[in-house]
Structure 1
Amino acid sequence: MLAATHAGFATSLYLGGAAVFEYPTDPVSWSLAVFFSFMPDIDIPTSKVGRPLFFLSVPLEKRFGHRTITHSVIGVAILTALATPLYFFYPLCFWSIVGGYWSHIQIDMANIRGVDLFWPSPIRVVMPGKMKYRLEVGSKAEMIVLCALLVFCVGLYPLSGLGLRGGLHQLLKDFDIAYDEFVEVQGLNWYTLELKAIDNLTLEHIKCNCPVLGAWQSGLIIEHNGKARSVGKSQIQHNLYPVDAVLIQGEPLRVISQRVDMKGRSLRWLVENLKANHGYYLLGELYVDADKVVNVSQIEAYHPVIWGGDKVRLHYAKADDLRDYLNLTAIRGEVIVQFWFRPGDRAVELSFNGDGGEIKTPGVLEGMF
């Protein structure tokens, strides 16, 4: 086959592998795959790799001939052994080298002569079996195959960045795929939900790109117009019913948390004494005096503050969400103050003074000052 055909086939396998196995593509590993797709032809002194490496190509051609040892399982095994140290440091480069080399052998099977895959056995491997369907080097048929490979690579390129599942997600815009994907990767990056939904209470149609905060009851918690709301298929448990949903990955996310013991303290104490130069979310579960009366009406299925009987649950609540609950005093329980950071955000400055004295800044925060 021509060098361009080998490069095109190696590229299609590289990008196809990225789409199926969802490994990240990069210029180095991609270049290695293309370069090593030429390497089996080192047994020809006039080939692209044979000319600069003539001190290897000349003796290889004289001793073994073309498409023998370098196009065999033995040649693949030798290359794999030489490249093995890369596997422990740069596994993608290792697989690019081995995969690129194998791609050359695989497409050469479609040549009229085939390859001596099991050399020194005289058995030749061809694909397809009928000669009339195999390709002659430089023929019109090979040009058609080359053009098809180029078109295939152009189509695979965007899919290689999304992955097969991501590509299906973009195509189907299915909420269940978005939910499953977020559950697997939450906490690693900022995520946005490109959403079309219906408000289960007002039947309002909503279209937004909303930050995703977390998962809840087989659904997602998003921030819409400054308020946390749940999205999911259950009209009883969620605020919004998704019509179309696509999960979009954003910048790397760094989360730092501070635990606060709330025994004998009110939510008003928490809000008034927590001072920070960065926005935060409150999570936790508090047991309170069941005789306390709170003047709230929780019609919505999800709310950042869920109160029932002797228990108050905070789930991605902000200080403003606590205004109807400020007088509730905890018998026991704790609140986690969670800070979310983007790359380049300045260090958090946290102070916490109250009845019990100053709460020490955790070591993970001290290193940031």
Structure 2
Amino acid sequence: MLAATHAAFSTVMYLGGATVFEYKIDPIAWCLAMLFSIMPDIDLPTSKVGRPLFWISVPLEKRFGHRTITHSFVGIAILVTLISPLYFYYPLYFWALLGGYWSHLQIDMANIRGVDLFWPSPIRVVMPGKRAYRLEVGSKAEMIVLCSLLVFCVGLYPMSSLGLRGGLHQILKDFDISYDEFIEVQGANWYTLELKAIDNLTLEHINCNCPILGAWQSGLIIEHNGKVRSVGKSQMQHNLFPVDAVLIKGEPLRVISQRVDMKGRSLRWLVNNLKANHGYYLVGELYVDADKVVNVSQIETYHPVLWGGDKVRLHYARAEDLGEYLNVTAIRGEVVVQFWLRPGDKPVELTFAGGMDGEEVPDVLKEMF
């Protein structure tokens, strides 16, 4: 095969691998794969790699011939031995070199002669088996294959950055894929949901790019028009029914949190005394006197503050979401105050105006000052 065909085929394999296995494209690894896709032809003095390395290619051709030792498992074993240090220090480059080398052997099997993959055994490996379907070097058939490979390269490049699941996700815009992906990666980055949905209460059609806060009841919690809403397939448990949904990765996310013991304290105490230079979310459960709680929210449909029996549950609640629950005093329980920081945000400054058992600055935040 021509050097261009080998380089194109190695690129298809490299980008295809990135699409399926979702590794990050590295320009150096890509170039190494293309370079080593022509390396087996070092046993041919007239080849692209054989001419500059004639002092190796000439003896190889005289001693072994073309498509023998360098096109066999023996050649692969020699290569692995030579590049083995890369496996421990730069594994990505190790696999790029090995994959590029193997791509040469694989496409050469489609040549009329095939390759002596099991050299020194005389058995030749060809693919396909029927001679009429195999390719001659430089023939029109090879030019058609080369053009097809270039088209594949163009098509695979955008897919390689998304991955197979990401590419299918962009095409299908399936909510379940968005949910599954978010569960795997939540907390590492800011994520946005590109959403088309229907409000289960008003039947309003909604189109938005909404920040995602978390997950709830096999659905996602988003912020839409300043309100925290849930998106999911259950019309009884979620506020919005998704029609199309695509998960969009954003900036790195850093979460700073502090636990607050709420025994004998009210949510009003927490809101009034918590002083911070960042917005925050409240997460936790409070056990309260059931006789003193008024049910002001739907138990099944998502709300940042949910009441059930003797328990008040906060799930990504903000001060403005607490409403009638501000005066509820906890018998026991705790609340986690979460600060979500973007790169470049100021350090968190958090104090409790009324004191917190004598501790003004939480331990977890001392290093932030």
Structure 1: segments with no counterpart, 5+ residues? none
Q: What residue is the counterpart of 1:154 in the other structure?
A: 154
- Deviations for 1:246-295, whole angstroms, at most 9, x for unmatched residues? 11111111111111111111101110111111111110000112222447
Deviation at 1:92, TM superposition (A): 2.0
Contact 1:218 1:232 (8 Å CA) reproduced: yes
AA partner of residue 288 (structure 1): V
Q: What residue is the counterpart of 1:351 in the other structure?
A: 351
Quick one: structure 1 residues 144 and 359, their matched pair in 2 at CA, closer, same or farther if it must change by over 3 Å?
Answer: same
Deviation at 1:16, TM superposition (A): 0.6
Q: What residue is the counterpart of 1:2 in the other structure?
A: 2
Q: What residue is the counterpart of 2:249 in the other structure?
A: 249
Q: Distance in 2 between matches of 1:282 and 1:323?
A: 14
Structure 2: segments with no counterpart, 5+ residues? none
Contact 1:295 1:324 (8 Å CA) reproduced: no
Contact 1:254 1:342 (8 Å CA) reproduced: yes
Larger deviation, residues 185-194 vs 352-361: 352-361
Larger deviation, residues 298-307 vs 95-104: 298-307
AA partner of residue 171 (structure 2): L
Structure 1 counterpart SS, 2:243: strand
Q: What residue is the counterpart of 1:263 in the other structure?
A: 263
Asked if 1:316 corresponds to 2:312, the answer is no
Q: What residue is the counterpart of 2:23 in the other structure?
A: 23
Q: Distance in 1 between matches of 2:55 and 2:208?
A: 63
Contact 1:352 1:358 (8 Å CA) reproduced: no
TM-score (norm 2): 0.96
Quick one: structure 1 residues 187 and 86, their matched pair in 2 at CA, closer, same or farther if it must change by over 3 Å?
Answer: same
Q: Distance in 2 between matches of 1:39 and 1:363?
A: 58
Q: What residue is the counterpart of 2:196 in the other structure?
A: 196
- Deviations for 1:20-39, whole angstroms, at most 9, x for unmatched residues? 11111110111111111011
Q: Which runs of 4+ in 1 moved over 6 A?
A: none
- Deviations for 1:322-360, whole angstroms, at most 9, x for unmatched residues? 132110111111100111111222211111232544435
- Deviations for 1:203-261, whole angstroms, at most 9, x for unmatched residues? 11111111111111011111111111111110111111111111111111111111111
Contact 1:201 1:300 (8 Å CA) reproduced: no
Q: Any residues of structure 2 matched to 1:34-183 within 5 Å, and which?
A: 34-183=34-183
Q: What residue is the counterpart of 2:284 in the other structure?
A: 284
Q: Distance in 2 between matches of 1:357 and 1:364?
A: 16
**Count of residues in Structure 1 that have an aligned counterpart in Structure 2:** 369
Q: Distance in 1 between matches of 2:312 and 2:256?
A: 23
Q: Distance in 2 between matches of 1:40 and 1:78?
A: 12
AA partner of residue 351 (structure 2): S
Contact 2:305 2:314 (8 Å CA) reproduced: yes
Q: Distance in 1 between matches of 2:36 and 2:356?
A: 67
Q: Distance in 2 between matches of 1:328 and 1:88?
A: 59
Deviation at 1:126, TM superposition (A): 0.9
Q: Distance in 2 between matches of 1:358 and 1:281?
A: 23
Q: Distance in 2 between matches of 1:104 and 1:295?
A: 70
Q: Distance in 1 between matches of 2:307 and 2:87?
A: 54
Q: Distance in 1 between matches of 2:133 and 2:86?
A: 38
AA partner of residue 267 (structure 1): L
Q: What residue is the counterpart of 1:332 in the other structure?
A: 332
Q: Distance in 2 between matches of 1:42 and 1:299?
A: 72
Deviation at 1:365, TM superposition (A): 2.5
Quick one: structure 1 residues 225 and 282, their matched pair in 2 at CA, closer, same or farther if it must change by over 3 Å?
Answer: same
Contact 2:299 2:306 (8 Å CA) reproduced: no
- Deviations for 1:32-73, whole angstroms, at most 9, x for unmatched residues? 111110111111223222233233222222221111111001
AA partner of residue 298 (structure 2): Q
Structure 2 counterpart SS, 1:324: helix
